[in-house]
């Protein structure tokens, strides 16, 4: 892993420890950070898909939902152990990502975008309709909290759990990005033709990254289910998929750090706008537009420019 | 309480489904046509397209309902107003970003859609609004199906717009210039076409189409501030199904999706109706990746 | 360079977190009540009037000198109809604002998400959402839902109450009317979101007890533009009536579609129909529609000696004068929730456990906007089906159905 990534990683770990101390047991702040962590898991996967494999997914909330419902249904109705349910969620998401990904990733650009959108929407409808299994629109309640040695994980400990996953997957992602596979992906993004001439099998890698990002999303879903103990299809709609995309782009679609930054900002932004009541949607939309207009490559890149470094280039450039 | 059963034969039900499907399809077609125009000029997918429809409906409500302006003039005013909004949007949000990546531009249209929704919520609140039908009259009975007159207005105006734009793009100089920009902006510039101007027009026209759709559908379905996103989704699906860049494709696909939805609800399951239409879309794309009317070369050309 | 990067990230995060609104000074004087409503988003039809209502009441109470001198402070949080936001809002109210009790949320989904938090925090919650599942512990709810005969729960969540009539009561009112009219085969058409889904489940669960069979079960999405296809399908069955369960624009669209298709069988709406605006929007198509409505909506038509009369007349006139829009049944839920707490505060002061006990044991025949409440340990809703009247839309206005 590059040194600068290592420093940034340490920065994140320290930041988490610092905030959980500052939060002083206030569940409100802790919950916020948990949501940031859960969203980050998903945006990390999306960022790899977009920034490195140049593919887009407008239906990622579906995998989030598969993870959440697997954990939810199996632990409440069939009394599975949460870890078992979690693994099944991962397996299902990976399988579905593979089956859907193979034909879909052959499509180009907007075609693929709509295919993923359609897929996401179909799954949303399925969550709504399979009422006897998922509870339908009324949702699934009573999802048990996670336990370690008989003690339930909540508050600060849940925060650590979620962010442990984030750090873990972050390290994994950074290694992937800087590995042979990662370089191949970046080659793809530049030109599929050239990559092919060099012997890089485009479609295989694309599907692999898609499956990986689905696994990330499923993990996020399972963690979400056990945290909030009640899930309903409305959390897994295409609006949420698009919001995730927005987080990645606003932060900086070219790097994972950008995605994390965007996630942090866009998860916290609504909290700042809390007092505005009827104006909130308007202000939120206006802020997004202004940010994109002034920093079209994302905030991370925009900040780099402001701090006077050489702009451009993705993680991996000196 | 007795129900004069059966009230409808299967055949009349089919006809009813068909007309409903065509009505919905008209809206999707108009939205899809708007998408196509912007896409052809810029390669951008305008995720605020559905909001133009919403604004068209609500501004017409304002003109005819609040200012009490007669229907036809109110209709024209509403379309003009939303067209201006579209043009303004292009100038303020798209034009400055000429060198940004495509995905950023698409995200800006998304941010725009949120902004429009916020403005609509501020101006009109969250309540739905209604418009009177364009002509007061009893529904028409046709082979056992009951068709309200407004549906014919919707179909007629849609077809007018579709053929009008076909004529515009193929026969007039301005239209041909816009098409030229889509294929090769550099070459177009070399022959003296003002590409920037064409992009502005494409947004304005697209907004106009959306507004027309909104105005004609509101008498049937009401309109409220957040009707946009679902229409955007379906319109986008139609554009891709028809083949990106093909105007004919978008319109046909829009009608197909509308009819599929209606038949799906009526014959199979109302819960899965959207899923059925989307499944068909996915299957078509997996078999023919460039859409029904799209060409393979055109799809490769468009850089994402 | 890499170290700068690290500091930048740390710095931004610190800045962001540091600038979130800080704790306010713990104030002893005012009585703080939290209000968690879906003021924006898909359920704003609920949250908007609820928010308006609590703000109006707050002014009245403080204008009259507060609660034994203590000002009433109602802190409203908008959840944007999202469960995660509801969770955050409740946590903020409990920890930062240190509220004594919370009214809301507006929807069943959001309420379900916050119930465990309120139970754990030992703080009274008076929800403005209708589902039985909010106040009933899961195992008890499962028990009655799978029971052979239709029954109501006997155990309730300790700290959770709700003011809306259970959807069951609305369904029962409709079925009573149908029985009177000799209707036994019906079609139902519902929206695929919480309110509609719970109505659908209750319609199906209660039907056998009234000898009613459901011959068609159709659904539609909350932003769908047209339900003609579903109604056409119903028209081809031998249903003697159709019941629609939704709130917002779909109610009106279904009404218009029903009229356009000339369906010849009566249309029953849910209690969500209770706003004159719906009649206007339907443009005449609503003539003959039947729905169970609370007395609030038809306040002028209620007889003068009814215990609710003064309350609902005052609420209706003041609300319509102030907000220039129809009073709504949903706002009434918030009215009752807040006034229940105000009465409890007057009686026992700002103590969570005492308030809870007061609510559970001292509220008997308490006239409110939504009905006459009688709470008990087995019933944290307090309303029975007599809170509803069967209403017919006649000449663009409400009339008692016969």
> Which ranges of B222-271 does DSSP label H, i.e. alpha helix?
228-242, 247-263
Q: Map tokens 């002061």 to a residue.
A: C349
CA dihedral (C344, C345, C350, C356) in degrees, to 10, reads 10
Q: Pick the most confident of A294-298, B210-214, B269-273, C384-388.
A: B210-214
Chain C hits for B2, CB-CB cut-off 8 Å, are 240
Tell me whether residues C260 and B146 touch, CB distance under 8 A: yes
Nearest to C105 by CA among C191, C163, C168, C169: C163
pLDDT over threshold 70, residue C38: yes
- In the predicted model, what is the mean pLDDT of chain A? 85
C77 Cβ under 8 Å from any chain A Cβ:
yes
C40 Cβ under 8 Å from any chain A Cβ:
yes
Buried b (16+ CB within 10 A) or exposed e, A104-131: bbbbbbbbbbbbbbbbbbbbbbbbbbeb
Q: Mean per-residue pLDDT for A119-146? A: 89
Q: Can you give the pLDDT at residue C176?
A: 94
Tell me whether residues C236 and B229 touch, CB distance under 8 A: no
Q: CA of A80 to nearest chain C CA: how many angstroms apart? A: 18
Q: CA of A44 to nearest chain B CA: how many angstroms apart? A: 17
Cα angle for residues B44, B48, B50 (degrees, 5° grid)? 120
Tell me whether residues B118 and A249 touch, CB distance under 8 A: no
Q: How many other C-beta atoms can be found within 10 angstroms of the C-beta atom of residue C341?
A: 25
Q: How far is CA B116 from CA A279, B55, C90, in A?
A: 12, 8, 30
User: Residues 6 or more apart from C53 whose CB is under 8 A from it?
Assistant: C315, C319, C331, C332, C334, C335, C338
Mutate which: B228, B275, B276, vs A, most A CBs within 10 A? B275
- pLDDT band at residue B1 using 50, 70 and 90 as cut-offs: very low
pLDDT over threshold 50, residue C35: yes
Q: What is the pLDDT of residues A211-268, one digit of tens each?
A: 999 999 999 999 999 998 889 898 899 889 999 999 999 998 778 889 999 999 999 8
Q: Can you give the pLDDT at residue C18?
A: 56
Give me the sign of the Cα torsion angle B32, B37, B38, B39.
Answer: positive
Q: Mean per-residue pLDDT for B16-30? A: 92
Total domains in the fold of chain A: 1
Q: What is the pLDDT of residues A123-136, one digit of tens each?
A: 999 999 998 899 88
Tell me whether residues C262 and B139 touch, CB distance under 8 A: yes
Cα angle for residues C137, C140, C146 (degrees, 5° grid)? 135
pLDDT over threshold 50, residue C27: no
Which domain, by its residues, includes A203?
Answer: 3-237
- The Cα B174–Cα C151 span in angstroms is 72
Q: CA of A297 to nearest chain B CA: how many angstroms apart? A: 7
Tell me whether residues B100 and A281 touch, CB distance under 8 A: no
User: Residues 6 or more apart from C384 whose CB is under 8 A from it?
Assistant: C169
B111 Cβ under 8 Å from any chain A Cβ:
yes
Longest dimension (CA), chain C: 82
Nearest CA in chain A to B125: A278
Task: Among A3, A6, A264, select the one facing C13 at the smallest CB separation.
Answer: A264
Chain B hits for A293, CB-CB cut-off 8 Å, are 93, 96-97, 108
Q: What are the two backbone dihedrals, phi and then psi, of residue A303, each rounded to the nearest 5 degrees? A: -70, -40
Buried b (16+ CB within 10 A) or exposed e, B40-54: bbbbbbbbbbbbbbb
Q: What is the pLDDT of residues B81-127, one digit of tens each?
A: 999 999 999 999 988 887 777 788 888 999 999 999 999 988 998 88
Q: What is the pLDDT of residues A260-298, one digit of tens each?
A: 999 999 998 888 887 777 787 888 899 999 998 888 888
Tell me whether residues C5 and A4 touch, CB distance under 8 A: yes
- In the predicted model, what is the mean pLDDT of chain C? 88
Nearest to C378 by CA among C149, C144, C127, C175: C144
Task: Among C40, C241, C281, select the one facing B1 at the smallest CB separation.
Answer: C241
DSSP B25-70: HHHHHHHHHHHHHHHHHHS---TTHHHHHHHHHHHHIIIIIIS---
Q: Map tokens 């515009």 to a residue.
A: B168
- pLDDT band at residue C6 using 50, 70 and 90 as cut-offs: low
Q: Mean per-residue pLDDT for A86-113? A: 89
Q: Can you give the pLDDT at residue C3?
A: 62
pLDDT over threshold 90, residue A17: no
Q: What are the two backbone dihedrals, phi and then psi, of residue B175, each rounded to the nearest 5 degrees? A: -65, -40
Nearest to B241 by CA among B261, B227, B221: B261
Check whether domain C31-166+325-386 has CATH 3.40.50.2300, yes or no:
yes
- CATH class of the domain at C167-301+387-400: alpha beta
Question: Which chains reach chain B with 3 or more Cβ–Cβ distances below 8 angstroms?
Answer: A, C
Q: How many other C-beta atoms can be found within 10 angstroms of the C-beta atom of residue B96?
A: 13
Q: Give span(s): CATH 3.40.50.2300, chain C.
A: 31-166+325-386, 167-301+387-400
- The Cα C353–Cα C129 span in angstroms is 23
- C302 compared with A200, residue with greater pLDDT: C302
pLDDT over threshold 60, residue B304: no
Q: What are the two backbone dihedrals, phi and then psi, of residue C371, each rounded to the nearest 5 degrees? A: 160, -165
Q: CA of A144 to nearest chain B CA: how many angstroms apart? A: 30
DSSP C376: B
Nearest to C91 by CA among B145, A70, C265, C83: C83
Q: Which pair of tokens denotes residue A264?
A: 């942090």
Q: Assess contact for B61 and B223: CB atoms under 8 A.
A: yes
- The number of residues making up chain B comes to 304
Q: Can you give the pLDDT at residue A279?
A: 80
Q: CA of B227 to nearest chain C CA: how many angstroms apart? A: 6
Q: What are the two backbone dihedrals, phi and then psi, of residue C147, each rounded to the nearest 5 degrees? A: -70, 155
Task: Among A54, A249, A285, select the one facing B118 at the smallest CB separation.
Answer: A285
Nearest to C49 by CA among C379, C293, C333, C367: C333
- A112 compared with A45, residue with greater pLDDT: A45
Q: How many other C-beta atoms can be found within 10 angstroms of the C-beta atom of residue C147?
A: 10
> Which ranges of chain A does DSSP label H, i.e. alpha helix?
3-23, 27-47, 61-76, 82-104, 109-129, 131-134, 156-177, 180-190, 192-197, 202-228, 238-251, 256-272, 280-294, 299-306
* B-to-C residue pairs, Cβ atoms closer than 8 angstroms: 118
Nearest to A89 by CA among A221, A212, A208, A211: A221
Q: Can you give the pLDDT at residue C165?
A: 81
Question: Taking a contact as any Cβ pair under 8 Å apart, which residues of chain C between 93 and 122 contact chain A?
Answer: 94-96, 108-109, 112-113, 116
Tell me whether residues B300 and A108 touch, CB distance under 8 A: yes
Tell how far CA C322 is from the center of its chain. 22
Q: Which pair of tokens denotes residue C207?
A: 């039907």
Q: Can you give the pLDDT at residue B28?
A: 93
Which 3 state secondary structure label does DSSP give B111?
helix
Q: Assess contact for B32 and B250: CB atoms under 8 A.
A: yes
Tell me whether residues A110 and B304 touch, CB distance under 8 A: yes
Task: Among B2, B7, B224, select the one facing C236 at the smallest CB separation.
Answer: B7
Q: Assess contact for C101 and C341: CB atoms under 8 A.
A: yes
Nearest to A159 by CA among A20, A278, A315: A20
Q: Can you give the pLDDT at residue A156?
A: 82
Tell me whether residues C235 and B8 touch, CB distance under 8 A: yes
- pLDDT band at residue B74 using 50, 70 and 90 as cut-offs: very high
Task: Among B1, B262, B271, select the one facing C219 at the smallest CB separation.
Answer: B271
Tell me whether residues B289 and A288 touch, CB distance under 8 A: no
- pLDDT band at residue B263 using 50, 70 and 90 as cut-offs: very high
Q: Which pair of tokens denotes residue B80?
A: 């003009």
Chain C hits for B16, CB-CB cut-off 8 Å, are 228-229, 232, 261
Q: How many other C-beta atoms can be found within 10 angstroms of the C-beta atom of residue A262?
A: 28
- The Cα C332–Cα C295 span in angstroms is 10
Task: Among B227, B270, B274, select the one facing C230 at the smallest CB separation.
Answer: B270
- The Cα B55–Cα B211 span in angstroms is 7
- pLDDT band at residue B63 using 50, 70 and 90 as cut-offs: very high
- The Cα C233–Cα A3 span in angstroms is 65
pLDDT over threshold 50, residue A313: no
Q: Can you give the pLDDT at residue C14?
A: 64
pLDDT over threshold 60, residue C21: no
Q: CA of C78 to nearest chain A CA: how many angstroms apart? A: 7
- pLDDT band at residue A309 using 50, 70 and 90 as cut-offs: low
pLDDT over threshold 60, residue C354: yes
Q: Assess contact for C299 and C94: CB atoms under 8 A.
A: no
* A-to-C residue pairs, Cβ atoms closer than 8 angstroms: 129
DSSP C301-355: GS-TTSTTHHHHHHHHHHHHHHHSS---HHHHHHHHHHHHHHHHHHHH-S-HHHH
What ipTM goes with this model?
A: 0.86
Tell how far CA A230 is from the center of its chain. 20
- The Cα B48–Cα B34 span in angstroms is 11
Nearest CA in chain A to C198: A138
Q: Can you give the pLDDT at residue A143?
A: 86
Q: How far is CA C203 from CA C46, C167, C170, C245, C379, in A?
A: 22, 9, 10, 9, 21
Q: How far is CA C246 from CA B1, B219, C117, C274, C370, in A?
A: 25, 20, 29, 11, 19
Tell me whether residues A138 and C133 touch, CB distance under 8 A: yes
Q: CA of C19 to nearest chain A CA: how many angstroms apart? A: 9
Task: Among C226, C249, C280, select the one facing B20 at the smallest CB separation.
Answer: C226
Which 3 state secondary structure label does DSSP give C224?
coil
Q: CA of A74 to nearest chain C CA: how many angstroms apart? A: 17
Q: Which pair of tokens denotes residue A189?
A: 């993004």
Question: Which chains reach chain A with 3 or more Cβ–Cβ distances below 8 angstroms?
Answer: B, C
- The Cα C121–Cα C109 span in angstroms is 19
Q: Can you give the pLDDT at residue A317?
A: 39
- The Cα B181–Cα B184 span in angstroms is 5
Q: Map tokens 């319609």 to a residue.
A: C203
Q: What is the pLDDT of residues C245-300, one digit of tens each?
A: 998 889 999 999 999 888 889 999 998 888 888 898 998 899 999 999 888 888 88
Question: Taking a contact as any Cβ pair under 8 Å apart, which residues of chain B between 32 and 91 contact chain A?
Answer: 39, 45, 47
Q: Can you give the pLDDT at residue A141?
A: 81
Which 3 state secondary structure label does DSSP give C396?
coil
pLDDT over threshold 90, residue B178: no
């Amino acid at each position: 892993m590059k040194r600068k990534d290592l420093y940034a990683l340490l920065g994140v770990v320290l930041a988490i420890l610092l905030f959980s101390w500052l939060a002083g047991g206030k569940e409100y702040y802790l919950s916020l950070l948990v949501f940031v962590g859960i969203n980050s898991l998903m945006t990390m996967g999306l960022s790899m898909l977009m920034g490195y494999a140049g593919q887009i997914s407008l239906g990622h909330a579906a995998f989030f939902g598969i993870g959440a419902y697997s954990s939810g249904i199996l632990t409440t109705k069939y009394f599975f152990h949460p870890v078992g349910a979690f693994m099944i969620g991962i397996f299902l998401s990976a399988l579905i990502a593979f089956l859907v990904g193979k034909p879909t990733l052959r499509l180009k650009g907007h075609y693929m975008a709509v295919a993923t959108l359609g897929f996401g929407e179909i799954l949303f409808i399925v969550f709504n309709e399979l009422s006897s299994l998922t509870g339908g629109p009324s949702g699934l309640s009573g999802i048990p909290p996670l336990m370690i040695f008989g003690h339930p994980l909540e508050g600060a400990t849940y925060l650590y759990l979620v962010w442990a996953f984030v750090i873990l997957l972050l390290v994994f992602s950074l290694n992937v990005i800087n590995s042979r596979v990662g370089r191949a992906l970046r080659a793809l993004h530049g030109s599929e033709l050239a990559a092919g001439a060099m012997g890089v099998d485009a479609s295989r890698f694309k599907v692999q990254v898609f499956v990986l990002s689905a696994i990330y999303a499923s993990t996020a879903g399972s963690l979400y289910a056990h945290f909030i103990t009640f899930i309903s299809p409305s959390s897994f709609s295409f609006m949420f998929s698009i919001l995730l995309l927005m987080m990645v782009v606003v932060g900086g679609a070219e790097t994972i750090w950008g995605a994390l930054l965007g996630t942090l900002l866009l998860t916290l932004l609504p909290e700042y706008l809390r007092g505005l009541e009827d104006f909130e949607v308007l202000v939120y939309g206006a802020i997004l537009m202004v940010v994109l207009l002034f920093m079209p490559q994302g905030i991370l890149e925009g900040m780099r420019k402001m701090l006077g470094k050489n702009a451009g280039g993705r993680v991996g450039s000196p | 309480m007795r129900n004069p059963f059966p009230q409808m034969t299967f055949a009349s039900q089919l006809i009813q489904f068909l007309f409903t499907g065509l009505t919905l399809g008209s809206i999707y077609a108009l939205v899809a046509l708007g998408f196509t125009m912007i896409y052809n000029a810029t390669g951008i997918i305008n995720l605020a397209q559905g909001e133009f429809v919403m604004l068209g409906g609500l501004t017409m409500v304002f003109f005819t309902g609040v200012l009490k302006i007669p229907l036809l003039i109110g209709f024209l005013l509403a379309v003009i107003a939303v067209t201006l909004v579209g043009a303004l949007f292009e100038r303020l949000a798209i034009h400055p970003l000429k060198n940004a990546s495509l995905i950023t531009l698409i995200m800006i249209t998304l941010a725009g859609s949120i902004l429009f929704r916020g403005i609509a919520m501020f101006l009109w609140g969250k309540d739905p609004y209604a418009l009177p039908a364009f002509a007061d009259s009893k529904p028409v009975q046709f082979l056992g199906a009951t068709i309200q007159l407004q549906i014919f207005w919707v179909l007629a105006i849609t077809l007018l717009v579709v053929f009008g734009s076909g004529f515009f793009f193929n026969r007039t100089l301005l239209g041909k210039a816009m098409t030229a920009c889509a294929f090769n902006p550099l070459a177009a510039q070399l022959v003296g076409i003002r590409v920037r101007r064409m992009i502005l027009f494409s947004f304005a026209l697209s907004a106009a189409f959306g507004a027309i759709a909104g105005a004609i559908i509101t008498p049937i379905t009401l309109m409220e501030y957040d009707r946009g996103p679902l229409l955007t989704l379906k319109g986008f699906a139609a554009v891709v199904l028809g083949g990106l860049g093909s105007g004919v494709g978008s319109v046909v696909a829009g009608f197909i999706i509308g009819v599929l939805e209606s038949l799906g609800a009526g014959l199979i399951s109302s819960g899965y109706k959207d899923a059925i239409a989307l499944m068909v879309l996915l299957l078509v794309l997996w078999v023919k990746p460039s859409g029904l009317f799209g060409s393979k070369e055109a799809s490769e050309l468009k850089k994402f | 360079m890499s170290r700068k990067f690290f500091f930048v990230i740390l710095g931004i995060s610190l800045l962001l977190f540091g600038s979130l609104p800080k704790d306010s000074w713990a104030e002893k004087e005012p009585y703080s009540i939290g209000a968690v409503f879906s003021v924006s988003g898909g359920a704003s039809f609920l949250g908007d009037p609820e928010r308006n209502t609590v703000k109006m009441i707050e002014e009245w109470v403080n204008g009259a000198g507060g609660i034994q001198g203590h000002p009433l402070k109602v802190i409203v949080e908008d959840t944007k109809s999202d469960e995660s936001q509801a969770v955050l809002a409740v946590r903020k109210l409990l920890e930062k604002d240190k509220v004594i009790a919370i009214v809301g949320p507006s929807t069943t989904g959001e309420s379900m998400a916050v119930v465990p938090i309120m139970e754990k925090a030992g703080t009274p919650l008076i929800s403005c959402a209708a589902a039985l599942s909010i106040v009933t512990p899961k195992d008890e709810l499962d028990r009655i839902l799978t029971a052979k005969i239709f029954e109501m729960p006997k155990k309730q969540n300790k700290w959770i109450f709700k003011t809306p009539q259970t959807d069951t009561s609305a369904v029962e009112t409709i079925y009573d009317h149908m029985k009177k009219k000799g209707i036994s085969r019906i079609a139902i058409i519902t929206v695929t979101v919480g309110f509609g889904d719970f109505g659908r489940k209750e319609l199906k669960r209660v039907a056998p007890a009234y000898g009613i069979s459901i011959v068609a079960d159709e659904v539609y999405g909350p932003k769908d533009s047209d339900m003609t296809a579903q109604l056409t399908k119903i028209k081809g069955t031998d249903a003697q009536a159709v019941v629609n369960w939704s709130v917002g624009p779909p109610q009106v669209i279904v009404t218009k579609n029903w009229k356009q298709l000339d369906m010849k069988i009566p249309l029953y709406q849910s209690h969500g129909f209770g706003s004159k605006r719906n009649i206007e929007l339907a443009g005449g198509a609503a003539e003959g529609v039947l729905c169970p409505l609370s007395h609030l909506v038809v306040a002028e038509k209620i007889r003068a000696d009814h215990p609710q009369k003064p309350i609902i007349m005052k609420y209706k006139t003041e609300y319509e004068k102030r907000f220039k829009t129809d009073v709504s049944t949903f706002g009434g839920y918030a009215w009752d929730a807040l006034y229940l707490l105000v009465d409890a505060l007057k009686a026992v002061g700002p103590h969570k456990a005492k308030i809870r006990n007061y609510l559970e044991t001292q509220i008997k025949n308490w006239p409110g906007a939504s009905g006459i409440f009688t709470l008990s340990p087995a019933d944290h809703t307090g309303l029975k089906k007599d809170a509803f009247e069967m209403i017919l839309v006649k000449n663009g206005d409400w009339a008692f159905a016969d």
